[in-house]
A and B are shown apart, each in its own frame.
Chain A
Amino acid sequence: MKNKGTILIIVLTLSSLISKAQDEKFKALFIYNFTKYIEWPQEKRSGDFVIGVYGNNPIAKELEIIAQKKMVGSQKLIIKQVDGVSACMGCHILYIPENKSSIVETIMNSISQQGIVLITDKTGFAKSYSGINFVNINGKQQFEINKKHIENQGATVNSGLLSLGIIIE
């Protein structure tokens, strides 16, 4: 009986890890694909392309896998775990997970015109803060996009991306 219980816990834990990983995997794929539709300001088109992940989040591992296989244009893709506002400054994309949402407002107000596209994971955040925001609609992974918040960073967004996301104004 005890063994069965242990097995059950292991199975549940594993299935939980797998299901969680699947969310992060697709979010990572989305983020990588976003880079194809966004043009960063001239000064950020050389050197490494940095995707920052705020705090310790499993999406960083998924992005690392992508970084080993892909580049963004001619730029080497670097994944950086950041903590604190100053650490965000060199990023092209900054992903802030749902559990770090309280920092979003502070970051948004500290990174004006820095060429950082903010990606959040919290209902309603594209309206007030981020350029792109992941949302779960009827059990499906989608994203909201606020063109103004991306342009405020000196970046431009391709209409193709706008047509795929939920436009927030």
Chain B
Amino acid sequence: MKKIFIALLSICLISTNVISQPKDINSMTKEDVLNMPYDKLLEMDLETVMRLADIVGVSMDELYEMLLNKDVSSASKKAESSFEAPLSTTVLSSDEIVQSGARNIEEALRLVPGMIIREKTNGNFDIHIRGNDNLPPDNMFIYSENTMSLVMIDGRPVYNYVNGGTFWECLPISIADIDRIEIVRGAASALYGANAATGVINIITKRPDSKDLSINGSVTGGSQASKIANINIGQSINTKLGYRVSANYEYMERTTDLLYSLKMDSMYKVQDLFNEMDPQLPWIKLTDPGDGNGLNKYPHTNIARDKWGVNGGFYYEPNGNIKTRFNLGSQYSDVLSTTFGDQVTPLSTRVSNTSYVDFSGEIYGFTTQVNYNFGYQDVVKGDEGFKVDMNVLNASGEYDFYVKGLNIRPGVYYQNATYDDSKHLSTVGNGFLNGERELSSIGGGLRADYMFKGIRFIAGVRAEKYNVNSEIYLPFQLISTYNLNDKHMFRANYSRANRSPFLVDTYADFNWDRSARSYPQQMKFTGSQDLELAKVDMIEVGYRVKPHKAVQVDIEAFMTTTTDYGYLSPDSVVGNFALVSTTNVVLNNSYTPIGLPPTAIPAPAIPEFVNMAYQNIPLESKQYGVTANVDWVVNKNLIVKAHGTVQVTKLENYCPLNTNEIIEAMMKDAGYTMTVANMMGQTPPNIIPNMNNLPTGTSTTTFFSADNVAGPGVTLAPYPSMLAYSTTRPDSLISIEHSSTPSFYGGISANYTAFEKMNIFVSAYYYGAQDFKNMYGTYKIEPKVITNIKVSYKVWNDNAVFLNARNLFNDNKAEFAWGDKTQGTYLVGLDIKF
């Protein structure tokens, strides 16, 4: 009995001893750690605490913060979380872009709130921030280009200063280069200078961050002969020095190899289109006879986009106070997209070959960036006058002062954009510029940023003086934000921004010989050095809220007024239209007309010569809208995002006439009752051509002598414009609702990691109906939903094979006026990352 008692006691003692022994950390569970009292934790050294922290792991809250609150620097030129950003801001991360399956940078922007994105031809997109599309309307396609947003790569503007806007295909980088894209919606010229009028898209490239060689990229192929390849290689050689090289290639074919004829409302093979006769003036071609069979202008109508780019970057950071970067690169692109000229078809070929060198440095609070961009851009291939050599230099310096809680950032800015078309002209005089032309600007800016007890005040102003305009422009921003607490952030913003001058608008001196084409026989395009620059005033209020730790909602309401639009408009008609006696037509071939052949057509009111001048018009665009965005981290495997914008655009002081109608009205004002439409669009009397045997020939016009009409010695002066956008005709200016921007647009996406190796990204982008009106007519763009899905499976580490469907349900409605009926694109590929 005693032995049994001793044995039991021993067991108890041993077991008690075992129980009272501190548990080995390696065998502790999360619950064990969480149940540990503070006193015990405080006795442990840091290393042990860290091991315990590893066992516990970070909570989902940290994950939410990471996913919902990405870093952003474009909203105030310093790093902050997107929840705190004082402007309407969105950050697209590299991972999100790759997972989404976007084929290129442009398409990725469909994931961003407030963006209107239409595919013109396969892979070529029209991109607007919050709309203001196609303004002023009733003109050429060029006025549908977005000239009011500034796209930058690492702070380097990639802007087209010839005509304004962004040639997206000229971006030398691809998705593989990108660390993140920061999008700022709204006027931001006080921060970024001219053209940041409706917003800024700043594409920030990767920096090498590891001594191990890092390689990422993708190879993709699929329908419409799509071939996309890109690669980025980076490495830190040591703690101070790093490098990066990248290359990319994109090839995409159109959904058709035919060209649409605006006049015939029909699709043509290129040679057929260039042999087609004008049905209304059947002795002349639809096209310029100088264009021959059209193959010089349209060498490969099956190709939508063919481009490559190479880039290099060197990074030197000798210490924490000096951080420098030197980038260089080159690109070549050949795309078929909407034309910048006045063509018989909405499309033309655009070829560019450009390069850049870019240095930026942050040195003890002083930030500088200098870049030089050069090469050529053939904006309308095959049309003389559209090919230009470009040289654009940008330089800036900013310095951060800190006085207690106040951050003051003064800056100086310089830009010189020199373009020259003379080397590409058969005769100087045939181009728009006819030599080397320069636009330059010098500016200074000051920005103050102060935070006090959750309230932040930002005031910024910039003064810019251009070499061609007598005014000093003063874009500004006044912003206040208030963090009620960690869950609610309010902000208000009043800003003014402006566009820069463009070379063609400023210097155009172009004579367009339209012999053997429809009237007028001669047109002249005249630029002006005194144009006011389009200006945007914006009031915006925003609210960010986290109703739940996994949800972030952003709501922004905006009101903008845009004025001082520039416009290419008939300015005067040379008076010899009054002198036209007859137009003689000489036919080269015989045909069987029904009626009499057109030997002589009386044409008293045909304008022989029209001067088109770049001028300011009193048009005002007022825009009101609300954008909402919801990011929801459902769980660590599923992130759902949705965004939508409701907006309306109203035009005031709008003249509802297109170019031809303005000329017609000018003639009416001059006392002629025959209209341009009658004269230019009418089948000559008694002629109904046999369409199976169209006539070819030339027309010549004879004139009355001025002496006969106005009396001996009287010179007929050009008849000036007294209509349209003229204060002498205020009755012609009206107010309308502008419907080139959809009243609703937005998107939704779900990023689902089914299991560790498989990711599924589904997204849909929607826009409502639009009426696109230009000088060729009105095109109704129907509502469309573009659904995309990418399924990727990691076969080895982070290297994944994928299936990617763009426009999954093959909705082939044209997204842009008279653009291609874009179809579904089905791709397979490999994402590389190691």
Contact A98 B81 (CB under 8 A): yes
**A contact residues around B81 at 8 Å (CB):** 98-99, 101-102, 122
**B contact residues around A100 at 8 Å (CB):** 84
Contact B239 A23 (CB under 8 A): no
The yes or no answer to B53 lying at the interface (CB within 8 A) is yes
Q: Can you give 7 contacting A-B residue pairs, CB < 8 Å?
A: A22-B34, A85-B405, A105-B78, A105-B407, A123-B71, A136-B58, A140-B53
With contacts A16-B549, A69-B39, A123-B71 taken as known, whether A102 is within 8 angstroms of B49 at the C-beta atoms is no
With contacts A86-B404, A101-B80, A105-B78 taken as known, whether A140 is within 8 angstroms of B549 at the C-beta atoms is no
Partner of A109, one of B46, B49, B57, B400: B400
**A contact residues around B34 at 8 Å (CB):** 22
Count of A-B residue pairs with CB < 8 Å: 143
Partner of B60, one of A19, A86, A110, A149: A19
A131: shortest Cβ distance to chain B, in Å?
A: 11
A161 CA to B46 CA, complexed, in Å: 8
Encode contact with A along B318-330: 1 for CB under 8 Å, 0 otherwise: 0110000000000
Please provide the 3 A-B residue pairs with the shortest distance between their CB atoms, ordered closest to farther.
Answer: A19-B59, A102-B80, A109-B402
A145 CA to B76 CA, complexed, in Å: 26
Encode contact with A along B62-85: 1 for CB under 8 Å, 0 otherwise: 110110010100001011110111
Encode contact with B along A79-117: 1 for CB under 8 Å, 0 otherwise: 000011110000000000011111111100110000000
**A contact residues around B83 at 8 Å (CB):** 99
**B contact residues around A29 at 8 Å (CB):** 41-42, 49, 53
Contact A102 B84 (CB under 8 A): yes
The yes or no answer to A66 lying at the interface (CB within 8 A) is yes
Partner of A149, one of B320, B449, B485: B320
Total contacting residues, chain B, CB less than 8 A: 54
Contact B454 A146 (CB under 8 A): no
The yes or no answer to B225 lying at the interface (CB within 8 A) is no
**A contact residues around B449 at 8 Å (CB):** 106
Contact A127 B320 (CB under 8 A): yes
The yes or no answer to B7 lying at the interface (CB within 8 A) is no
The yes or no answer to B24 lying at the interface (CB within 8 A) is no
Partner of B404, one of A85, A105, A127, A148: A85
Closest Cβ neighbor of B404 among chain A residues: A85
Closest Cβ neighbor of A65 among chain B residues: B38
Contact B71 A102 (CB under 8 A): no
The yes or no answer to B794 lying at the interface (CB within 8 A) is no
With contacts A16-B549, A164-B47 taken as known, whether A109 is within 8 angstroms of B80 at the C-beta atoms is no
Closest Cβ neighbor of A29 among chain B residues: B49
**B contact residues around A83 at 8 Å (CB):** 452-454
Contact A110 B402 (CB under 8 A): yes
Contact A101 B59 (CB under 8 A): no
A100: shortest Cβ distance to chain B, in Å?
A: 8
With contacts A124-B71, A136-B66, A148-B320 taken as known, whether A69 is within 8 angstroms of B50 at the C-beta atoms is no
The yes or no answer to A33 lying at the interface (CB within 8 A) is yes
With contacts A83-B454, A169-B239 taken as known, whether A33 is within 8 angstroms of B49 at the C-beta atoms is yes
The yes or no answer to B756 lying at the interface (CB within 8 A) is no
With contacts A37-B46, A99-B486 taken as known, whether A84 is within 8 angstroms of B452 at the C-beta atoms is yes
**B contact residues around A106 at 8 Å (CB):** 402, 405-407, 449, 451
A102 CA to B491 CA, complexed, in Å: 15
**A contact residues around B456 at 8 Å (CB):** 102
**A contact residues around B402 at 8 Å (CB):** 106, 109-110
Contact B453 A30 (CB under 8 A): no
**B contact residues around A110 at 8 Å (CB):** 402-405
Contact A101 B79 (CB under 8 A): yes
A22 CA to B41 CA, complexed, in Å: 13
Residues of A within 8 A of B (CB): 16, 19-20, 22-23, 26, 29-30, 32-34, 36-37, 55-57, 65-66, 69-70, 83-86, 98-106, 109-110, 122-125, 127-128, 136, 139-142, 146, 148-149, 160-161, 164, 169
**B contact residues around A33 at 8 Å (CB):** 45-46, 49
Contact B79 A124 (CB under 8 A): yes
A105 CA to B409 CA, complexed, in Å: 12
**B contact residues around A19 at 8 Å (CB):** 59-61
The yes or no answer to B299 lying at the interface (CB within 8 A) is no
A16 CA to B449 CA, complexed, in Å: 35
The yes or no answer to B54 lying at the interface (CB within 8 A) is yes
**A contact residues around B549 at 8 Å (CB):** 16, 20
A162 CA to B214 CA, complexed, in Å: 26
Partner of A20, one of B59, B71, B79, B319: B59
Given contacts A29-B53, A30-B49, A140-B53, 4 further A-B contacts (CB under 8 A): A66-B38, A98-B69, A102-B84, A148-B320
With contacts A33-B46, A102-B84, A110-B404 taken as known, whether A23 is within 8 angstroms of B454 at the C-beta atoms is no
The yes or no answer to B56 lying at the interface (CB within 8 A) is yes
**B contact residues around A84 at 8 Å (CB):** 405, 451-453
The yes or no answer to B365 lying at the interface (CB within 8 A) is yes
**B contact residues around A56 at 8 Å (CB):** 485-486
Encode contact with A along B397-416: 1 for CB under 8 Å, 0 otherwise: 00010111111000000000
A83: shortest Cβ distance to chain B, in Å?
A: 5
Encode contact with A along B365-406: 1 for CB under 8 Å, 0 otherwise: 100000000000000000000000000000000001011111
**B contact residues around A20 at 8 Å (CB):** 59, 61, 549
With contacts A29-B49, A33-B45, A66-B38 taken as known, whether A23 is within 8 angstroms of B62 at the C-beta atoms is yes
With contacts A34-B46, A83-B453 taken as known, whether A102 is within 8 angstroms of B58 at the C-beta atoms is no
Encode contact with A along B30-50: 1 for CB under 8 Å, 0 otherwise: 000010001101100111011
A12 CA to B52 CA, complexed, in Å: 25
**B contact residues around A125 at 8 Å (CB):** 79
**A contact residues around B454 at 8 Å (CB):** 55, 83
**A contact residues around B42 at 8 Å (CB):** 29, 32, 66, 69-70
Contact B451 A36 (CB under 8 A): no
**B contact residues around A160 at 8 Å (CB):** 46
Closest Cβ neighbor of A105 among chain B residues: B78
A150 CA to B76 CA, complexed, in Å: 26
A22 CA to B58 CA, complexed, in Å: 8
**B contact residues around A34 at 8 Å (CB):** 46
**A contact residues around B65 at 8 Å (CB):** 98
Closest Cβ neighbor of B84 among chain A residues: A102
Closest Cβ neighbor of B55 among chain A residues: A140
A125 CA to B60 CA, complexed, in Å: 22
A142 CA to B57 CA, complexed, in Å: 10
Closest Cβ neighbor of A141 among chain B residues: B53
**B contact residues around A23 at 8 Å (CB):** 58-59, 61-62
**A contact residues around B61 at 8 Å (CB):** 16, 19-20, 23
**B contact residues around A148 at 8 Å (CB):** 319-320
A127 CA to B50 CA, complexed, in Å: 22
Q: Output the residue of A30, A69, A85, A164 with the most chain B CB within 10 A.
A: A85
Contact A26 B80 (CB under 8 A): no
A34 CA to B46 CA, complexed, in Å: 8
A121 CA to B171 CA, complexed, in Å: 35
**B contact residues around A123 at 8 Å (CB):** 66, 71
Contact A122 B71 (CB under 8 A): yes
Contact B58 A139 (CB under 8 A): yes
Closest Cβ neighbor of A32 among chain B residues: B42
A108: shortest Cβ distance to chain B, in Å?
A: 8
Closest Cβ neighbor of B402 among chain A residues: A109
A141 CA to B34 CA, complexed, in Å: 15
A86 CA to B402 CA, complexed, in Å: 12
A93: shortest Cβ distance to chain B, in Å?
A: 14
Closest Cβ neighbor of B59 among chain A residues: A19
A36 CA to B49 CA, complexed, in Å: 13
Q: Output the residue of B58, B365, B407, B485 with the most chain A CB within 10 A.
A: B58
B454: shortest Cβ distance to chain A, in Å?
A: 7
With contacts A23-B62, A139-B58, A148-B319 taken as known, whether A69 is within 8 angstroms of B453 at the C-beta atoms is no
A56 CA to B404 CA, complexed, in Å: 20
Partner of B46, one of A140, A146, A164: A164
Contact B79 A128 (CB under 8 A): yes
Closest Cβ neighbor of B238 among chain A residues: A169
**A contact residues around B66 at 8 Å (CB):** 123, 136
